[in-house]
A and B are shown apart, each in its own frame.
Chain A
């Protein structure tokens, strides 16, 4: 009974996701004013051929700063968590 129920749920979920995927269109967004601005002015304003990098590091640089801070905080968290485990190391001076 449980097995049939889980198979039914999986099939319903799969059909649902497949129906969504059928209607998707790639490469033709509805609102493209911002994209057109970046594509038209990116090479001139940032002197870069790669528009993706221009958006990530120049137009949206503040987001990238936040992303780097998140990565830094995550690594600090992992280091703190493992600190007690590796405390006995002789060749570490932390």
Chain B
């Protein structure tokens, strides 16, 4: 079962815009309100729009379940791995070892109100990206599994 042509066309058009907005929220998580969880939920909303608009067989051609599962696991492993590297460097767990270091995301920030710079934050942007990938995969695969359940129930 699929929805009407109007719904499918709107889903196709809106999917790209929602995706770009979600990536913006994830990547600017250390500058503007939002972060990994919020941005990942926005991206998963775009995926849910496509999943609701199309039938189960068409969705399976667009999105792979194993890919989403791998994405979710990779996000959690990346999040824990970034935190574990700090232990290898001889500091505490979750220590922000990249902040003020001059390396990747390593610029300093002056105190008080300032316009902000994308290349700051230390490990925080990496963790935002990791959590964003995880939440995206996790919430999308929940909706996909529910769609697969009802498509089986329709046939019976």
Direct contact of A and B (CB under 8 A): yes
Of the stretches A1-9, A16-24, A51-59, the one at the interface is: A51-59
Does B30 lie within 8 Å of A93, measured CB to CB? no
> Which B residues lie within 8 Å of A75 (CB)?
72, 138, 141-142
Decide if the interface of chain A is mainly helix, strand, loop or mixed. Answer: helix
Does A78 lie within 8 Å of B142, measured CB to CB? yes
Tell me if A15 is interfacial: C-beta within 8 Å of chain B: no
Does B127 lie within 8 Å of A72, measured CB to CB? no
Does A88 lie within 8 Å of B131, measured CB to CB? no
Tell me if A44 is interfacial: C-beta within 8 Å of chain B: yes
Measured between alpha carbons, how far is A10 from B126 in the docked complex, in Å?
48
Tell me if A35 is interfacial: C-beta within 8 Å of chain B: no
Interface size range on A against B: 35 or more
Tell me if A28 is interfacial: C-beta within 8 Å of chain B: no
Does A72 lie within 8 Å of B108, measured CB to CB? no
In-complex Cβ contact of B106 among A47, A49, A58, A78 (8 A): A47
Instruction: Add 17 more A-B contacts to A75-B138, A82-B146, A93-B66 (CB < 8 A).
Output: A47-B99, A47-B109, A48-B122, A48-B124, A49-B109, A49-B120, A53-B35, A57-B35, A58-B94, A61-B127, A64-B127, A64-B131, A65-B80, A75-B141, A79-B141, A82-B145, A89-B60
Contact surface of A with B, Cβ cutoff 8 Å: 43-50, 52-54, 56-58, 61-62, 64-65, 67-69, 71-72, 74-75, 78-79, 82, 85-86, 88-89, 91-94
